[in-house]
Structure 1
């Protein structure tokens, strides 16, 4: 393999997805991590639809779905009594090819990605620490340490996907403003018996003062418990599972027979002041951390990696000016700030013991939400919010125009029920034009001359419901977001869009 052009620090999901996508684009990379291997006690469980759509571009989504467990329902408990069921198994129907929430623990997730990366010819360098780096404007020289040995690695770009205590973020001297929640969380893998272990979904307690989730793990047959250390034991030192066992068992009517591992941790809410500087970038927890509400953290980091990967590839392969990389921060930091604010509000109302919190947990969740979930508009709103398919880059320098309800910057709506699937061509990870209806000869000729793939889909009622416009031109980015949406097939508008952004089409280079 050619000399690495990108050094990725951190082999969690964010760094691994960045590495995989860069490899697909033909960019030689190197990835290091100071840990000895993939995580053993991770907390993230939810894999949302937008992440699975990104994995589908790599041909990996169905394999991951088969390894995980589709959450068919959310089961609400109070003191060992099942209070209500909220069916979420197919609540995003017609919105995504993955209309559900997948339960797949981060430790298994990381091992899955490590293996796929190995198949691509890249082995993660474990026990390797970033000591420091220098950016001279032309290259980045990073000093790496493994054991007692140090070496210098010279690359075009450095990407810090190295978590909340990011060495790359510290090296850039970026502020990481925010704070920590007062609650201490716990996470455990246990073998347990009881009704909550046979539900095939996510179990949540509704207790006025307690918060805990129980989720199944297919790979081990274990249950993962995630919750807040109860008041009765939070003042103890060196808390073990036995300290919380009686309370946790009572919440769900469980009997825990075996504890695989147990850990406690604090949760922060922070966003870095910038997501990059010069030739160094940060992504995932290195750039933003927030409450566990909605299981958004890991999925957001993966979204960062997808956004950054194709832009790095384009610049390195001469298909775009370096200014393209300036669009990474504004596109991702706006969502990160919004996410921190919204998950903070959601978390506070879930755990606070004031009147609003008590009303939410004891009335809205068990009695109102199950009834509201029968409404299609409520199901669709909840799916769009959780799944991250609502993320839009409207206002970005890469976004232009509007056709139907779809604007430049929006995720391309899915049109794949009962016919051809408009997401299948996205596996090219390259720019493409999509038309729903008929493509004019001038557009066909222009696409061929410019080396842009043109995909024409039949006009359907689903395309109309998705907000697409018949016979409009949609120029789709490598990450599945619309760059240009134009109501007519005006080739001059297409040429102006590409020229103004310095983007050229052509065959992807290989390493």
Structure 2
């Protein structure tokens, strides 16, 4: 049997696995990525791409291609059988919080092809029809047996990463439990051509006493996505068809379906794996957490897993950090996954409950509450923070102004350029909003970590930065630590504790 070696073996070539591969490759890691499917997906599946994901894509240098392929969702309308009950402008509802203050839709099949193309440009091809059969690990690495097109191969890797979905072979291989449950309702999803007053650039949430539905544009060609609960009278049918539920779907959504491009029904689960790491084996994305699609968080959370794991693995594999750096992957990401599953579960139960009281609340009171929430700029910004994932924090060391260690670096724009531009280095850096003293710069010089000074503007103050405070920023754009004073000692101790050695030029 053929044998080979690599630094990282990734199992699964969905968005999570592809982003992990892109990040690792940009930082010079030798890797292989396999998937048992013959090619990328052919259906739209996940469609919401949140602002935080677009920020990561800017760091990778691929955001322009992603934006060119998708659709900016300009508004959200809450619809009841009586008409439009509330409207939220989504075109710039996060203005000042991100370079991407809008809602954005991109079908997963197109999304994956963009990621694959950029990965191939970086010199890595997804190995298709390649299935992980078994693996074992020891103190030095992982030995995996893979079958590709009927031929076996043994791959020796320093680390194994499972991004292979909800029925993950990798998760099963390390015997991790996947506690949670399954929602009682059946759901439908369809990509369709429609007639009606539906706006092609808007998201419609349709609420009714007996259920709900979502109508969302997914392709520049004009098709829309329909998502909703299968009517109770149809759930017992051996095979649920769109024609069987057409009347109810059109009644709730207010559209007339001209053609059905794709239709499927499914059951939803809410689960989080017991752990995200066992020794040299990691899981990410749906392999570690699955939940309701409320808020369009699932795929974006997997991509966040990939970025968090990617920069840490690259640093350790490349000898630029102590192996203890990777220890933070599991606690940071599993804590967020658990919070997310709990919150989406609560929201989804309200949206899908068939009780009379919940139905009345959903149809009559919920639209009014949404209308009140979005009536002010503060409400719109709260909504943006909630869904965009810019509010994810790994609260850690120290703080200055309103920014604490673990927070995502707040975004500040200026005529001279925004403060996220230096993050394209995918490396450690120090930010100061004001002036960095010569003594501090001199002390940091020997670490190889660049110091970026930005003017302390009203926008910087509004974002929460302290004047002349020092912020150590991680490769993923999160603040590692912050201090009010410019004493270099805490930063030098932090850098020494993890043996951080930045400055390695990324691969193109």
TM tier, smaller: over 0.9
In structure 2, distance between residues paired with 1:329 and 1:292: 23
- Per the TM alignment, residue 320 of structure 1 is displaced from its structure 2 partner at its CA by 1.0
Partner of 2:413: 416
In structure 1, distance between residues paired with 2:188 and 2:355: 23
1:367-382 paired onto structure 2 within 5 Å: 367-382=368-383
- Per the TM alignment, residue 248 of structure 1 is displaced from its structure 2 partner at its CA by 1.3
In structure 2, distance between residues paired with 1:94 and 1:361: 32
* Conservation of the 8 A alpha-carbon contact between 1:15 and 1:305: yes
Partner of 2:275: 274
- Per the TM alignment, residue 509 of structure 1 is displaced from its structure 2 partner at its CA by 6.6
Partner of 2:137: 135
Structure 1 residues 419 and 509, CA, compared in 2 at 3 Å: closer, same or farther?
closer
Gaps in structure 1 of 5+ consecutive residues: none
Residue 220 (structure 1) aligned with residue 221 (structure 2): yes
In structure 1, distance between residues paired with 2:483 and 2:295: 35
In structure 1, distance between residues paired with 2:96 and 2:405: 21
Structure 1 residues 271 and 295, CA, compared in 2 at 3 Å: closer, same or farther?
same
- Per the TM alignment, residue 508 of structure 1 is displaced from its structure 2 partner at its CA by 3.9
- Per the TM alignment, residue 112 of structure 1 is displaced from its structure 2 partner at its CA by 1.4
In structure 2, distance between residues paired with 1:199 and 1:367: 24
- The Cα RMSD (Å) is 1.7
In structure 1, distance between residues paired with 2:116 and 2:274: 30
Partner of 2:56: 54
In structure 1, distance between residues paired with 2:209 and 2:266: 22
* Conservation of the 8 A alpha-carbon contact between 2:187 and 2:230: yes
In structure 1, distance between residues paired with 2:39 and 2:82: 38
Partner of 1:66: 68
Flag as ranges the 4+ runs of structure 1 deviating above 6 A.
Answer: none
SS at match of 2:233: coil
Partner of 2:8: 6
1:220-239 paired onto structure 2 within 5 Å: 220-239=221-240
Which of the numbers 397, 404, 429 marks the counterpart of 2:426? Answer: 429
Structure 1 residues 279 and 242, CA, compared in 2 at 3 Å: closer, same or farther?
same
* Conservation of the 8 A alpha-carbon contact between 1:84 and 1:367: yes
In structure 2, distance between residues paired with 1:188 and 1:105: 12
In structure 2, distance between residues paired with 1:251 and 1:80: 10
Partner of 2:474: 477
Partner of 1:486: 483
* 1:397-431 residue CA offsets vs partner (Å, 9 max, x unmatched): xx321111111111000011444200000000000
In structure 1, distance between residues paired with 2:121 and 2:310: 19
In structure 2, distance between residues paired with 1:375 and 1:137: 56
- Per the TM alignment, residue 92 of structure 1 is displaced from its structure 2 partner at its CA by 0.7
* Conservation of the 8 A alpha-carbon contact between 1:41 and 1:263: no
Residue 336 (structure 1) aligned with residue 333 (structure 2): no
In structure 1, distance between residues paired with 2:283 and 2:505: 25
Structure 1 residues 364 and 424, CA, compared in 2 at 3 Å: closer, same or farther?
farther
In structure 1, distance between residues paired with 2:355 and 2:250: 25
SS at match of 1:330: helix
- Higher deviation after alignment, 3-12 or 170-179: 3-12
Which of the numbers 138, 156, 159 marks the counterpart of 2:158? Answer: 156
Partner of 1:184: 186
* Conservation of the 8 A alpha-carbon contact between 1:80 and 1:251: no
- Higher deviation after alignment, 436-445 or 295-304: 436-445
In structure 2, distance between residues paired with 1:102 and 1:200: 10
Gaps in structure 2 of 5+ consecutive residues: none
In structure 2, distance between residues paired with 1:482 and 1:269: 30
* 1:51-102 residue CA offsets vs partner (Å, 9 max, x unmatched): 1111110122232122211111111223383333222221111111111110
In structure 1, distance between residues paired with 2:135 and 2:505: 30
In structure 2, distance between residues paired with 1:84 and 1:406: 34
Partner of 2:212: 211
In structure 1, distance between residues paired with 2:469 and 2:278: 38
- Per the TM alignment, residue 356 of structure 1 is displaced from its structure 2 partner at its CA by 5.5
Which of the numbers 484, 496, 503 marks the counterpart of 2:500? Answer: 503
1:32-181 paired onto structure 2 within 5 Å: 32-79=34-81, 81-181=83-183
- Higher deviation after alignment, 86-95 or 127-136: 86-95
Aligned length in residues: 505
* Conservation of the 8 A alpha-carbon contact between 1:80 and 1:252: no
- Per the TM alignment, residue 42 of structure 1 is displaced from its structure 2 partner at its CA by 4.2
Structure 1 residues 80 and 245, CA, compared in 2 at 3 Å: closer, same or farther?
farther
Partner of 1:287: 288
Partner of 1:448: 445
SS at match of 1:84: strand
- Per the TM alignment, residue 446 of structure 1 is displaced from its structure 2 partner at its CA by 2.4
- Per the TM alignment, residue 359 of structure 1 is displaced from its structure 2 partner at its CA by 4.6
SS at match of 1:281: strand
* 1:336-362 residue CA offsets vs partner (Å, 9 max, x unmatched): 000010000010111113365235422
